[in-house]
Structure 1
Amino acid sequence: MRLRHACARLARVGARSRPSHQPHRPMTRVPLHAASVGDVYTVECVDLASTGEGVCRLPDGLVLLCANTAPGEVLEVELSSVGRSFARGMKLSSVRASPSCVTPPCRHYARCGGCAWQHVDYETQRERKGRTVREALTRVGRFVDGDDLTSACVGTKETTRYRNKMEFAFGSDASGGVVVGLRPRGTNDSIVDLEFGCLLQSEAADDVLSAVRASLKRVRGRIDAFDRTTGKGTLRSVTIRTATSGDGKRSLMVDLATTASEKELTSGALAELIADITKHEAVTSVVHTTVPAEAELRRAGVGRSAKFVKGGKKPISKRKVVTLYGENKIVETLHGVKFELSSASFFQTNTEQAARLVREVVAGCGFAGDRSETVLDLFCGVGTMGLSVASNAKRVIGWEVVPEAVEDARRNAEINGITNADFYRVDLSRLNPSKGTKALLTTPQGDVLPMPDIVITDPARPGMDASLIAILRTIGARRIVYVSCNPATQARDLALITAPSQGSQDAAYVLKLCTPVDMFPHTAHVESVAVLDRINA
C-alpha cells in the first residue's frame, strides 16, 4: 500500500512536546504544522500497513506509522522520525484498546522481527490481506471491478508452527558469548536470543534450536559469531528445515553456514556443535555451507533509522556445500507428490497452505478432464506446480533460470514416476519478443515445443518482464494462471496482460478471478492466484 493512499481518519485528543531534560514538566502545545522528532501525539490507529505497522494520521494529515497497534486503538505516540510523506513513532501507552488486539503467543514478540502481527487477531489479519490484493488491483492495475474480482482470502487453521524452514543468525551477547536467534525489527546488526524457541517452526525444529543454544554454552569462548559489518568471525547462520512424509513422520535437515576451514569441521568447538546436532533423533541430514569472510553490511547514511544496511562486498553466487551427516536431501510430500529437496532448494515454507495454494491453481487451470491439455509452467522452481498438475495434463513444460532447481525438478519427476513433464533452463527476464512463440516454445537444443493450452506463471516478487508478457500474448493460451507473492507487481502485470489487442497475433485476456491465500500468518505477506481467460478463445 502506498503511504500517500493510506486510508485513515484522525481521532486526536491532543498533541504535546516532551522536553528531554524535564520529563515530568507539563507538556506544551505543538503547532499543527511543526511536527518533529520527540513530539507526543494522541492518535487513533485506523488501518494496517503492508509493513505490518499501524496507520494513523497527525493533525496536519501526515501519515504516521507505529508498530504494535491495531485498528480502533487510541494511543499515545512519540515521533521517532518525520519525513516529507510520512512519519514513524513509538507507542508510549494505550488510551483505548482495539477490539482487534490480542495477547501475542510468543514471549519474544516485543523485540523479535520474525512476526509483525501477533498482537492482531487472525480474522483481522486475513481480512487485511484480502484487502491488500483488492487495493492493488484497483490502484495499481486500475481494475474498476477489483473488489468484485477478488474472492475472500483463503485462511489457515494453524497460525503457529506452520513454517517448514527457518534461518537463524548467530551473534554475540554483551559478555562475548555466542547467541542464536532472529533479527530485531528494523535492525541488521544484532540478535534476539530465542531462549524460549520460535513458534513459527515445528516443535522438533525447536528442539534442535535448543540443542544449538545448549552446545554454544558448552563451547563458550572457543568459537565466535560472524560479524556482518566486518566479515570476521565464524558462525553466520543455522537453517533448520522440516519435512513431513506421507505417514506423518518428521525429518530435519540442518544447514550450518560458517567461514570455517575443513579442519575446523572435524575437530574443535565447531565439530562439537555439529556432533550435538546429529544426536537429535529427527535429524537425518547436516550440511555445511561455506560463506566468504567478507562484510555483508555497510554503515547507513544520514537519515537512516538503522545503523547498518545491506551492501558490503558482493557475496559469491555459488557457495561450497559439504554433507557432514546423512545425505544432502530431504523429502517433502505435497498434493500427493514427493519432492526431494537439497539445502539450496526453494520450496514453499508453509506446506499445509501450499497444498491449498496448489488446489487453487488446479481449480484455476480448469482442466477438461481428459488429459488433453499442454501446460507451460513458468518460473517452475523444483517443479512444485507443474508436477502437481501433471496428472491432469497431457504434457507439462517447465522453464526455470536456476540450474540446480531444474535438476531438482527433473529428479522429482523421476522419483514420482511422472513421464509427461520436462524441465528446461532459461532466463525468463531476458527473452527476445521479436522471436515470437519460438522464444518460449523452442528447447535449448532447438526442438520445437507444442503450443500450450494453459500457462502457469509463478514469478518472484519483481513480477514478469514486459517482454515475457508480450510473448505470452503472442502464444495466446486459452487460460493463464498467475501465482504471485507481491500483489502490486501482479496487478501491474495483469493490467498488461488484459490490455486491448493490437492485432491478430496479440491475444487479449480478461481477468476472471483473483484469490488471496494467506501463507504467512502474523506477517503482512500474502500470495494470490489470478485466473485469466483469452478473449474469444
Structure 2
Amino acid sequence: MAQFFKAKPNKSKQLSAKLSLDITQLDHLGAGMAQYQGKVVFVAGALPNEQVTVQLTEQKKSYAKAKLIKIDQASAARREPLCPHYVQCGGCDLQHLDVDAQREFKQQALTELMTKLGNNTLEQNIIAPAITGDAWHYRRRARLAAVFDKKTNHLQLGFRQSASSNIVSVTQCNVLAKPLSDLITPFAVNLNQLKSKASLGHLELSLAENGLFAVLRVTKVLPASDIRWLTEFAAKHQICLLTQDNDSQLTQLHPKVDEAVAKVTLPYYSLTTSGDSEQPLRCEFTPGNFVQVNGEINHAMVQQAITWLDPQKDERVLDLFCGVGNFSLPLALSASKVIGVEGVPEMVQQAKDNATLNHLDNLSFHHADLSADLTHEKWLGKIDKLLLDPARTGAFESLQWLKKMRPKKVVYVSCNPASLARDSKVLIEQGYQLRQLGMVDMFPQTHHIEAMALFELNVE
C-alpha cells in the first residue's frame, strides 16, 4: 500500500484553553504584554493594569501571542473606540487608549528603544517637548482600495482588514479630514454605477490648499458614459478629479484642462518659516508621491528641524531623502546652498519644479540610490549641516559617508524609532553626541511613532 506524506499539525498555531492574564505594559507596537509559564505573551487590544481572558494563538520558544477574548478588569485609560469600523479595520489600532496615555506610551517606547538599541544615555534635558496636534480628522490624504466582487457585481471601497488582505468597506474615517471622510460614501455609491467598475484599482483622496482632489486608478480606458458620470459627480462635489492609467499617466476629468496648456492641476500645501524671511512657500505634489499626511504636525516638525539645524547664510546644507522638498525649500531661505537628494526620479523632478515655483536659485536636487555606493556622486562632499528623513529602514548606508561630509549638526527625522536607535550608534561612533530627542505624534490613534533627533559633532 502506497504511503503518502502527511504534514504534522503546527502546534505553534493551535488555540489553547482560555487563560486569565494580568497585563503589565505595552510593547513598542502597542500590544499588551503579560507573563505566562516563563514566556512573554503579546495580546493585541489589551492595556496595562487590565485583567483579561485570552487564548494563545501562537507559541514560540521565548514568547507567545494571544487573542483577546474578554476584558475582566478594564484600565482607567481605556476608551470606547470612536470608529464604527475599529474591530475590522487594520488602521487605527490604539483607539481604545486615551490619547494622552497614547502619547505617554509613545514617549516611553521611544526613550526605551533609544536607550536599549542605541546605547544612548538620555538625560532629562535632552528630551524635547513632544509635537502634538488634533487627535481626530488630521489626515489630509488617504488611499482607499477598490475591489470588485464578480458574484455580487459590487465594488467595495475601503481599507485593508487587520492582518489580512481583505477589504473592510467603510462609510467614514474619523482620522481622515472631515471633507474627505464625507466623500467616502458618495464615491462608493457613484463608482458602483459605472459600467467599468470591474476595471478600477484604488481611489486616492487629498485635501490641499487649492481644494479637494481625487485620483482614480483605472486599468482600462473608461467608456464615454462613465467619464460623463464621473465628471458630473466631481462638479457636484467640487472635486478636482483625475484618472491614472497603467503607465501612471494622469488625465484630468474635472475641471476641464485647457488643451493649449495640457497640464493637470496639482495639489499643494504651504510651508511657512520663522526665519529671516516670512515668505510662504508652495509645495506641489503629484499622486503617488510621498507627503506627510498630517499637515499641522508637518508644519511644526519643519519649524523644529530648522530651529535645531540653525542654518546660516554662509553654510551648505544637505537634505537626504528629500522627497518633493518638504525640508529643502524652507532651509533654502536661510542657508547659502541646499542640496536635496532623493531616490525616486519623479519626486526629484517635482522637487526641482517646486524650487522653480518658489524662485529659489540656491537649491539643487539630485537623484541617487542612497543605499548604494556614493563614491562618484558629485554632490557628496564637505557640508555644514545634514538633514535626514529616511523611510522605515533608516539611513544606515548613507551614514557610512559621514567622514566625507563631516557636518557640524545632524537632524534625523525618523518614522521608525528602532532604525533611529540603530543609526544613532553609527553617529556616536563617528564622534557625534545626541543633544535633543523629541517624539512627533504624526499618527494619533495608532501605535506608529515618529521622532526627531539632533546630533552635534564633538569639537574636542
Judge same fold: TM > 0.5, yes or no.
yes
Superposition deviation, residue 50 in structure 1: 3.2
Secondary structure class of the residue paired with 2:217: strand
Tell me which amino acid in the other structure corresponds to 1:372.
D
Superposition deviation, residue 54 in structure 1: 2.0
Secondary structure class of the residue paired with 2:333: helix
Aligned to 1:342: 286
Contact kept in structure 2, 1:172 and 1:179, CA below 8 Å: yes
Contact kept in structure 2, 1:181 and 1:191, CA below 8 Å: yes
Secondary structure class of the residue paired with 1:406: helix
Alignment of 1:262-277 (within 5 A): 262=221, 265-268=222-225, 270-271=226-227, 274-275=230-231, 277=233
Aligned to 1:470: 400
Contact kept in structure 2, 1:409 and 1:423, CA below 8 Å: yes
Mapped pair 1:131 → 2:131: no
Q: State the distance in 2 between where 1:271 and 1:85 align.
A: 57
Q: State the distance in 2 between where 1:85 and 1:450 align.
A: 47
**For structure 2, which runs of at least 5 residues remain unmatched after alignment?**
1-11, 256-263, 273-279
Change (3 A) 1:258 1:54: farther
Contact kept in structure 1, 2:440 and 2:450, CA below 8 Å: yes
Secondary structure class of the residue paired with 1:532: strand
Q: State the distance in 2 between where 1:55 and 1:395 align.
A: 49
Contact kept in structure 2, 1:40 and 1:76, CA below 8 Å: yes
Superposition deviation, residue 472 in structure 1: 1.8
Superposition deviation, residue 529 in structure 1: 1.2
Contact kept in structure 1, 2:382 and 2:404, CA below 8 Å: no
Change (3 A) 1:171 1:84: farther
Change (3 A) 1:450 1:112: closer
Aligned to 1:498: 428
Tell me which amino acid in the other structure corresponds to 1:257.
R
Tell me which amino acid in the other structure corresponds to 1:278.
A
Alignment of 1:362-441 (within 5 A): 362-368=306-312, 371-432=313-374, 435=375, 439=376
Mapped pair 1:160 → 2:136: yes
Mapped pair 1:528 → 2:451: yes
Change (3 A) 1:176 1:89: farther
Alignment of 1:24-423 (within 5 A): 37-58=15-36, 60-145=37-122, 149-156=126-133, 158-172=134-148, 175-188=152-165, 190-195=166-171, 197-219=172-194, 222-223=195-196, 225=198, 234-244=199-209, 251-260=211-220, 262=221, 265-268=222-225, 270-271=226-227, 274-275=230-231, 277-290=233-246, 319-326=248-255, 327-335=264-272, 336-368=280-312, 371-423=313-365
Contact kept in structure 1, 2:143 and 2:205, CA below 8 Å: yes
Secondary structure class of the residue paired with 1:498: helix
Q: State the distance in 2 between where 1:38 and 1:257 align.
A: 44
The CA deviation string for residues 319-349 of structure 1, in whole angstroms up to 9 with x for no partner, is 4443333425112113332111111321111
Q: State the distance in 1 between where 2:250 and 2:89 align.
A: 29
Q: State the distance in 2 between where 1:520 and 1:165 align.
A: 12
Q: State the distance in 2 between where 1:176 and 1:66 align.
A: 38
Tell me which amino acid in the other structure corresponds to 1:458.
D
Secondary structure class of the residue paired with 1:39: coil
Change (3 A) 1:398 1:35: closer
Q: State the distance in 1 between where 2:103 and 2:384 align.
A: 33
Change (3 A) 1:125 1:471: same
Tell me which amino acid in the other structure corresponds to 1:69.
A
Change (3 A) 1:57 1:271: farther
Contact kept in structure 2, 1:455 and 1:477, CA below 8 Å: yes
**For structure 1, which runs of at least 5 residues remain unmatched after alignment?**
1-33, 226-233, 246-250, 291-317, 444-448, 502-507
Secondary structure class of the residue paired with 2:38: coil
Superposition deviation, residue 244 in structure 1: 2.4
Aligned to 1:514: 437
Task: Say how many residue pairs are matched.
Answer: 433
Contact kept in structure 2, 1:378 and 1:398, CA below 8 Å: yes
Superposition deviation, residue 145 in structure 1: 3.2
Fraction of identical pairs, as percent: 27
Q: State the distance in 1 between where 2:197 and 2:61 align.
A: 42
Aligned to 2:9: none
Mapped pair 1:459 → 2:436: no
Change (3 A) 1:282 1:63: farther
TM-score normalised by the chain length of structure 1: 0.76
Q: State the distance in 2 between where 1:117 and 1:138 align.
A: 24
Change (3 A) 1:411 1:172: closer
Contact kept in structure 2, 1:42 and 1:74, CA below 8 Å: yes
Provide the alpha-carbon RMSD of the alignment.
Answer: 2.4
The CA deviation string for residues 369-403 of structure 1, in whole angstroms up to 9 with x for no partner, is xx222111111110110112221211111111211
